[in-house]
Amino acid sequence: MRAYERFLNYVKIDTTSSEQSQTSPTTSKQFDLANHLAQEMKEMGIQQVRVTEYCYVYGVIPATDGYENQPAVGLIAHMDTTPEASGSHVNPQIISDYDGNDIVLKNQLVISKKHFPHLERLKGRTLITTDGTTLLGSDDKAGIAEILTACEQILTQQIPHGKICIAFTPDEEVGQGTNHFDVEGFGADFAYTVDGGEEGELEFENFNGADADFEITGYAIHPGSAKNRMINASLVAMEINAMLPSGDVPAKTEGYQGFYHLVSMKGNTEQASLHYIIRDHDKYLFKARKDTMRHIEQLINEKYGEHTVVLTINDRYYNMNEVLKDKMFLVDYAKTAMEHVGVKPIVVAIRGGTDGARLSFMGLPCPNLGTGGFAGHGPYEHITVEGMDITVKIIIELLKIYTEFKV
């Protein structure tokens, strides 16, 4: 079975995670895909397959005879899709011999060359898109499909390999994908996530990330007698946002530039709240951004009174390069694998985070390989059949290289 065929089966299963849920996994429907994958893995011949109470799927392909002393390599992808867009009743559209032009979807949406100039490079390929009413789910069901297709080929073609450890995680999209990850039980010496980005992408740097929440308490009084007495919590919220640098937002930054992103806001005269995410690749600039938020809290409270504003900052993840810079063979071997299958490596810094970032700090060094997907987290999401096939080849070649592992 080719990777795209698996992928088309997986996207039919709704696995949207939830930021509001306090359970683990955050949505029970993620078990639907987990159980499906476990059965598929067993039928394929993968051993020690298990689904945990927290919806993690694990499996092992033991080393080929004579390769038991080679390192155990992990392959990881996540099952959930982002709550930013619907993952229910996904209806993929398959465009054979794509002509490189704009693609009209439902709801008058258009995957346009203006917004996605890479479309020209996909001309002649078989393109898979959404119908415009949901996301597609290539982030990261494509990664799952590619990992299992690579494993199937390794088993059926009897390709020599060291121990291969496989894991599929829940809740990555809401920052909880490694909360219950069993690093020791997983059994890998190091791993690769296969998650997002076009085929040939290789990532070993990511943002440091934190959540920042302002809770604002105003003083509500009849507006007719409010002079010098009312504190309008919603106006204070607007004042807080105005104190942040206007250029340091996602729409005006790229590459290694960090940002403050106002995710949501709500409020009235008496109560208001602001929810931000803070991102920066540099750990010192990351700290400075958090300090800026704390300074704003201090200034507002000095102006309007103590406890007018309460700021809560929670770190989510850190730049995995802090770990991987001492294990660059993981990156070099991945580059070599790509070159062996005729792909030029595209090394980029992730403007976000992955399970691999957290796992790297949990003792499992874990760079990321691209899946061939584009425009994740929304109705413009798309991927190509050929890109998925290439990623499968990269994974297999990488596992071959580790049979001759020398650092």
Angle between helices 385-401 and 329-340 (to 10 degrees): 120
Q: Exactly one of 146, 152, 172, 397 is catalytic; name it.
A: 172
Is 203 annotated in the active site?
A: no
Could you give the CA distance from residue 30 to residue 60 in angstroms, rounded to a whole number? 21
Interatomic CA distance for residues 89 and 389, integer angstroms: 25
Distance CA(267)–CA(326), nearest Å, equals 47
Instruction: At 65, give phi and psi (nearest 5°).
Output: -50, 130
What DSSP character marks residue 5?
A: H
Nearest partner of 263 among 112, 81, 82, judged by Cα: 82
Find, among 315, 312, 276, the residue nearest to 294 by Cα. Answer: 312
Whether omega before 170 lies within 30 degrees of 0, making that bond cis, reads: no
User: 14, 80, 146, 198: which is the annotated catalytic residue?
Assistant: 80
Structure tokens at 174: 């809401």
Structure-token pair, residue 382: 């798309």
Based on the residue annotation, tell me whether 80 is a catalytic residue of this protein.
yes
Nearest Cα to 390, choosing from 350, 331, 338? 338
The catalytic residue positions are 80, 172
